Chain A
Amino acid sequence: MSETTYIEAIRLAMIEEMERDQSVFLIGEDIGHFGGAFKATQGLLERFGKERVVDTPIAEALIMGVSVGAAIRGLRPVAEMQFADFVTCGFSQLVENAGTFHYRLKVSVPMVVRLPSGGGVGGGPYHSRNPEAWFCHAPGLKVVAPATAADAHGLLKSAIRDPDPVVFLEQKWLYRREKGVLQSGDDALVPLGKARVAREGRHLTLVTYANGVPMAVEAADRLRAQGIEIEVIDLRSLAPWDHQTVLASVEKTGRLLVLSEATRTGSFASEVAAHVAELGFESLDAPILRVTAPDAPTPSEKNLEAYFRPNTEKLVDAVSVLMRY
């Protein structure tokens, strides 16, 4: 079977859901003839017309607010931010409004916001954000962060069908590097809130998501040769997240390492660590460690950015610390 890139998986998910459901439409900046900054919507204007592929003026608060308004009337907007970073300009509409509508009025807001996230592209402080913690901290929003092409495809389809607002974090770094075989029809759907065990192992649980997954898998494969078996858990969804899969794994391995590309303090990695410290304390043989970016803005220059980001070596070092226990 032929392999599809992560970005093409996203494009196909939108096409399939738009074909399936007339209420799905796309909204964002330069998503029409231009096909989006990363070409996720290439050819979609030609295919679905300008009523369903809406190019907007540059105004993120507007994109979010219009999406909320359309969603409460039963449409299913899929909004694209040109870069995840610019969601900050639409923050109030997403966090304060989309996230609380159902609570306030019992009216669903079935919208998806696609956020091209993460570093590795020399984007500096404004084109490299990993903003997941902001949204995991916002009641009412769901947050997903796929690492594979099949998950990008299946999670986006599920997100579009979901009754709640979903923040869909997609990784620029993975867009063209990551490839996989996609399923068709309902087999392709990946449920929100369910993790995936990317590698099985007995000695240490390595919990990660998004850009962290290929790094974690690489480290696991490298360490297997040295007799260290790492269980890599790809969370896929961050809100709600699959704590049971994580707790069961830690019960088996007794060690937990959490990897996230985001900055450390107040990160989702911290949430996983706190949760396991509360509910899995009995299983732990070692302290919980986090491998993350430092608490600084992302630099643009590519060597500096390489120092800034987590990598396989940093992971391997953390594993050896934990294996001493």
Chain B
Amino acid sequence: MAKAAAAKSSTKRKSKRSASERIAQSPFDLPEIPLHQVIDPSGKAVGVLPKTDRALRLRMYRTMQLIRLLDERMMILQRQGRIGFYGACTGQEAAPVGTVAALEDRDWIFPALREGVTMLYRGFDLETYVCQVFGNSGDVLKGRQMPSHYASKSVNVVSWGSCIGTQIPQAVGAAMAAKYKKDDVVAAAFMGDGATSEGDFHTALNFAGVFQVPALFLCQNNHWSISIPTAKQTASRTIAEKAVAYGLPYARVDGNDVLAVYGAVKEARERAARGEGATFLELLTYRIGAHSSSDDPRVYRDEAEVEVWKARDPLARYRKFLIEEGDLSAKEDERQRTELNETVLEAVKRAEARPLPPAESLFDDVYAERPWHLEAQRTELLEHLASHPKKER
């Protein structure tokens, strides 16, 4: 992993130069940050593989395959008007899965739009998961959050507040608490490349650097923030090098290589557990589909670019690798695909049949206990509904 130490040595070199030379050259004084990759896009092992066993490798694969199939199904439901919104993880499955596999189950995950899928790796029930997009009575979030904003206390995945970047300082706070409690719980914050423009990103990394908290920052650089390419988001050559300014160790990882992600996160987690503080990882990937069900990417990006990245698909690459390694046969793979697809269809069918949360649930959980004014407003709504019975839409 590239270390902040590299930046330190370049400072030493610089001191012999005049001020104007330094100004002219400073952005390029940083060493090239290598891309950490262990499986290449053709599925061949090209680096030192992290230590894993077959069961773990297959669990990661199964989760990635499940996410791919689930996202496909959800986009269909959205187009059919059965759900209101969806933000898919397609093409980015390796980053959340490699990360969650390298974490301990007790570690807290602060996802953004595309990393609720980490819950599935931790064994969260699929039907309950699908209930979230319907917002019905099976949804642990009770229809309150938009679809794709998955979360559950049961698997330590925190609810994302939609406002870009706000989860990053929260993860730092959670990490600070872990340090205080000495409970070896690491907080992992995901973010998109776009989120690195928000003030919250910078203040969070700065604080994490100063206080050496056990946090992991995982930036999924998927090259786009809705219509804005990364080059128009930042003039830095890489996202990873932003960590230099905050004194954090960093690395640039092939985010479509699940084992590379796994290895890097594992190492970063060990650092955090040793009390050496936070790490920043840029996970290089690509958003294959639209930002969400609300936009058409053909308006702002060249489809040729998408084709280039499709050839680097994380799922196809990992499948080839596993078959090559003898972990999986093509036949077993096909059987698993069919089985998972049926599981998804069944979960959707059962989730969709669930009733809605009751109207008066609007007034629950706003506070730990319902204060008088919400009690009065609840009665007001119930009386209103009694005199105007409503049909569900």
Contact = CB atoms under 8 A, between A and B. Distances in A.
Interface stretch (B92-100, B190-198, B328-336, B338-346): B190-198
Contacts of A308: 362
B234 interface: yes
B358 to A, nearest CB: 9
Contacts of B200: 89
A5 B373 CA distance: 38
B387 A89 contact: no
A264 B85 CA distance: 28
A287 B198 CA distance: 47
B204 to A, nearest CB: 14
Contacts of A123: 146
A284 to B, nearest CB: 22
Interface in A280-325: 294-297, 299-304, 306-308, 313-314, 317
Interface stretch (A55-63, A163-171, A177-185): A55-63
Interface stretch (B34-42, B161-169, B317-325): B161-169
Interface stretch (A28-36, A207-215, A231-239): A28-36
Given A57-B194, A89-B198, A304 B143 contact: yes
A299 B225 CA distance: 26
A86 to B, nearest CB: 6
A58 B194 contact: yes
B226 interface: yes
A30 B164 CA distance: 14
A170 B258 CA distance: 44
Contacts, number: 141
Interface string B9-20: 000000000000
Contacts of B85: 122
B273 to A, nearest CB: 32
B370 to A, nearest CB: 10
Contacts of B51: none
A124 interface: yes
Given A57-B197, A85-B162, A303 B392 contact: yes
Nearest to B202: A59
Contacts of B361: 304
Given A33-B299, A34-B299, A317-B384, A303 B393 contact: yes
Contact of B234 (A30, A57, A61, A264): A57
Nearest to A82: B226
Chain A CB within 10 A, most for which of B197, B227, B374, B384: B227
A209 to B, nearest CB: 21
Interface in B154-200: 161-166, 194-195, 197-200
Contact of A297 (B194, B226, B228, B366): B366
A124 B363 CA distance: 15
Given A57-B197, A59-B199, A306-B393, A125 B145 contact: yes
Nearest to B160: A126
Given A85-B162, A122-B146, A314-B384, A303 B197 contact: no
Nearest to A57: B197
Contacts of A88: 163
B377 interface: yes
B274 interface: no
Interface of A: 29-30, 32-35, 37, 55, 57-62, 85-86, 88-89, 122-127, 264-265, 294-297, 299-304, 306-308, 313-314, 317
14 contacts: A34-B226, A57-B194, A127-B162, A264-B373, A265-B373, A294-B363, A296-B374, A299-B135, A299-B142, A300-B84, A303-B356, A304-B144, A307-B385, A317-B384
